[in-house]
Chain A
């Protein structure tokens, strides 16, 4: 395999993986706080639609990003109210929001289908860094949002493992009663992390409509939100593994297309199965190694009720 081909496959993997990475990071934070959010795909769609609309109307892609973050956060606020305050079934609320987001985004974006944004996020090579052989053009010849995603992974990993607040976040998903006992507001914190998770899902959608495509079409996520949910399990709730997983999932398409161009007859159906086969393999390996215990937060999916503690 020659160098240009390798660079082109790897760079395409990162571009294709980035929308999934944003959404997966959001879901990771949400699940670390003990809440499952299956509405990611709907939140991505609402982010994609509203971000695109704002970007076209105000000629500013960055404003579009802001609006997408806000829209995703609002959707997640509904989820937070339902699952934290009302202690509703998290699966039900998430699924309902996924459907709701698909309908809402189609309705809102109707007039914007097929429109062309004047400004989009274009490739922005970083001086010096982009000159490093292979790694340079792969990692540092991307758009601003990709750089933002690197920063977010770093930040999330540092926050989660190295800060006191990160410790509380992990405890939220493991043992919220213990936090409550030392006077931490479990409900308030969970609200915050669910809303941040939704905002990141909105950002993932905006990456699709403002940088990747860039256009708005109904249901344009094509199920990427669901891949993000699966990816969090694949990543075993770790930001760095989420990054690796996103690029792996994104890279499979890139690899498949390049193999086709080279005339190498691999079945694209098998290629499309690979991410899911990997997820199942990771689950099996981890479960065998840890004797049937997954790294999932202990209280994931369990509504916190002070009277039951």
Chain B
């Protein structure tokens, strides 16, 4: 005896196939190699229209296509971590893609496995830490942009309370909060940054609610580390200001968004493909900076005064030239203990595992 009747099996498969077909729409299907073009493929965990993380990578792909006419780039979106990712990456490799970019931390081990089986393909993994002879990883120093947006927020706030809706207490997020707060403090020592953990990456309603709670607690600028625009919508609704993340979020909240800390993957993708085409590509770990134009801040909203723009633009130049480093000492933690001495700069190794808040953050790292 089968669990389902024949009818049920037919209908169930129809429904499932139907839903998969719909969900898979827009996935890359270009297999053919035309006229010696380099075939490149991207694997994303989100949708290329999410207005955030994946959207930023998708814009990088479009910039690559515009810059380099000898490239053919396809993408697959909404790919889950684990078995799905391994299957998709294997398929892309077997279709003859020369370079495969995977843009979710959760793809790391799948990519390592596939890289072993396809030694002639180059694998690039975003935000992880594993490499192989044919697999590199890459990420960006978004904290530099966070620092600058912190300066904008510090200048703009009148209540001296800035709200930060944070996803999960992992180093990437803590580092962003610390850099942002250091930027706030650099221009406005009286201001504090209140942090709420939403424990979500993607729940616009809940993230908006977290932002509303911060506004109720007196915050007049809201920033965030999420994959949605929920917090921005709260600021817009209550007539407060906001700082976006991932992409320029002014479209979602035109009256609220002062600027956004943004990813700009185009230049990096162009660089990698040029190296591959020239045969000079080497495996390694890349942490791109503002100097490389991988991270940046979005154009200012009309409400940001000229004086602030001049100040922040100067700081941006100083970060690019190396004169200014957000994590240069002295830096105290929440308890007032000096963590980075005067004249010292926090090492990359320490930055990658940072688990404490700087002075000026009002919140705790939930355990």
CB of A219 within 8 A of CB of B202, answer yes
CB of A106 within 8 A of CB of B47, answer yes
Evaluate whether A88 and B202 lie within 8 angstroms (CB atoms) in the complex, with A100-B15, A106-B23, A114-B49 already known: no
Task: Give the residue name and chain of the B residue nearest to A224 (CB).
Answer: B205
Give residues of chain A (246-271) contacting chain B, Cβ–Cβ below 8 Å: 253-254, 257-258, 260-261, 263, 265, 267-269
Which residues of B lie under 8 Å from residue A219 when comparing CB positions? 202
A279 contacts the other chain (Cβ, under 8 Å)? no
B349 contacts the other chain (Cβ, under 8 Å)? no
CB of A107 within 8 A of CB of B49, answer no
A131 contacts the other chain (Cβ, under 8 Å)? no
Which residues of A lie under 8 Å from residue B18 when comparing CB positions? 100, 103
B79 contacts the other chain (Cβ, under 8 Å)? no
Task: Give the residue name and chain of the A residue nearest to B46 (CB).
Answer: A218
CB of B205 within 8 A of CB of A89, answer no
Which residues of B lie under 8 Å from residue A218 when comparing CB positions? 46-47, 49-50
CB of B196 within 8 A of CB of A217, answer no
> What does the 1/0 interface line of B201-221 toward A look like (CB < 8 Å)?
011111011101110110000
Q: Closest CB of chain A to B230's CB: distance in Å?
A: 7
**Majority secondary structure of chain A interface residues (helix, strand, loop or mixed):** helix
CA distance A260 to B252 in the complex (A): 27
B367 contacts the other chain (Cβ, under 8 Å)? yes
Evaluate whether A114 and B11 lie within 8 angstroms (CB atoms) in the complex, with A212-B208, A222-B200, A267-B366 already known: no
CA distance A16 to B205 in the complex (A): 8
Stretch at the interface among A55-63, A90-98, A191-199, A291-299: A90-98
CB of B204 within 8 A of CB of A86, answer no
> What does the 1/0 interface line of A1-21 toward B look like (CB < 8 Å)?
000000010001001100100
Which residues of B lie under 8 Å from residue A110 when comparing CB positions? 26, 49
> What does the 1/0 interface line of A212-224 toward B look like (CB < 8 Å)?
1111011110100
Q: Which of A82, A114, A272 has the most CB of B within 10 A?
A: A114
Task: Give the residue name and chain of the B residue nearest to A262 (CB).
Answer: B217
B25 contacts the other chain (Cβ, under 8 Å)? yes
Which residues of B lie under 8 Å from residue A15 when comparing CB positions? 209
| Cβ-neighbour of A96 out of B16, B26, B51, B367 (below 8 A) | B16
Which residues of B lie under 8 Å from residue A104 when comparing CB positions? 19, 22
CA distance A41 to B66 in the complex (A): 40
CA distance A260 to B361 in the complex (A): 13
Q: Closest CB of chain A to B351's CB: distance in Å?
A: 25
Which residues of B lie under 8 Å from residue A258 when comparing CB positions? 213
A208 contacts the other chain (Cβ, under 8 Å)? yes
A167 contacts the other chain (Cβ, under 8 Å)? no
| Cβ-neighbour of A106 out of B22, B195, B200 (below 8 A) | B22
Task: Give the residue name and chain of the B residue nearest to A78 (CB).
Answer: B15
Task: Give the residue name and chain of the A residue nearest to B5 (CB).
Answer: A88
A280 contacts the other chain (Cβ, under 8 Å)? no
CA distance A309 to B255 in the complex (A): 64
| Cβ-neighbour of A268 out of B26, B194, B366 (below 8 A) | B366
Give residues of chain A (74-93) contacting chain B, Cβ–Cβ below 8 Å: 82, 86, 88-89, 92-93
Give residues of chain B (198-248) contacting chain A, Cβ–Cβ below 8 Å: 199-200, 202-206, 208-210, 212-214, 216-217, 228-230, 233
CB of B4 within 8 A of CB of A92, answer yes
Which residues of B lie under 8 Å from residue A88 when comparing CB positions? 4-5, 7-8, 11-12
CB of A103 within 8 A of CB of B8, answer no
CB of A272 within 8 A of CB of B8, answer no
CB of B4 within 8 A of CB of A261, answer no
Which residues of A lie under 8 Å from residue B210 when comparing CB positions? 257
Which residues of A lie under 8 Å from residue B205 when comparing CB positions? 16, 19, 208, 212-213, 220, 222
Interface residues of B (CB under 8 A from A): 3-5, 7-8, 11-12, 15-16, 18-23, 25-26, 46-47, 49-51, 78, 194-197, 199-200, 202-206, 208-210, 212-214, 216-217, 228-230, 233, 251-252, 254, 362-364, 366-367
Closest 7 CB pairs of A and B: A103-B23, A100-B19, A96-B15, A222-B203, A103-B22, A257-B213, A114-B51
Interface residues of A (CB under 8 A from B): 8, 12, 15-16, 19, 82, 86, 88-89, 92-93, 96-97, 99-104, 106-107, 110, 113-114, 116, 208, 212-215, 217-220, 222, 253-254, 257-258, 260-261, 263, 265, 267-269, 272
Task: Provide 30 A-B residue pairs closer than 8 Å at the C-beta atoms, listed in order of the A residue.
Answer: A8-B216, A12-B213, A19-B205, A82-B11, A86-B11, A92-B4, A93-B11, A93-B15, A96-B11, A96-B15, A99-B16, A103-B23, A106-B22, A107-B25, A110-B26, A114-B49, A208-B205, A212-B205, A213-B205, A213-B230, A214-B233, A215-B233, A220-B205, A222-B203, A222-B205, A253-B206, A257-B209, A261-B214, A265-B364, A267-B366
11 new A-B contacts, CB < 8 A, other than A8-B213, A19-B205, are A88-B4, A103-B22, A107-B25, A110-B26, A114-B252, A116-B254, A213-B205, A217-B202, A220-B204, A222-B206, A261-B194
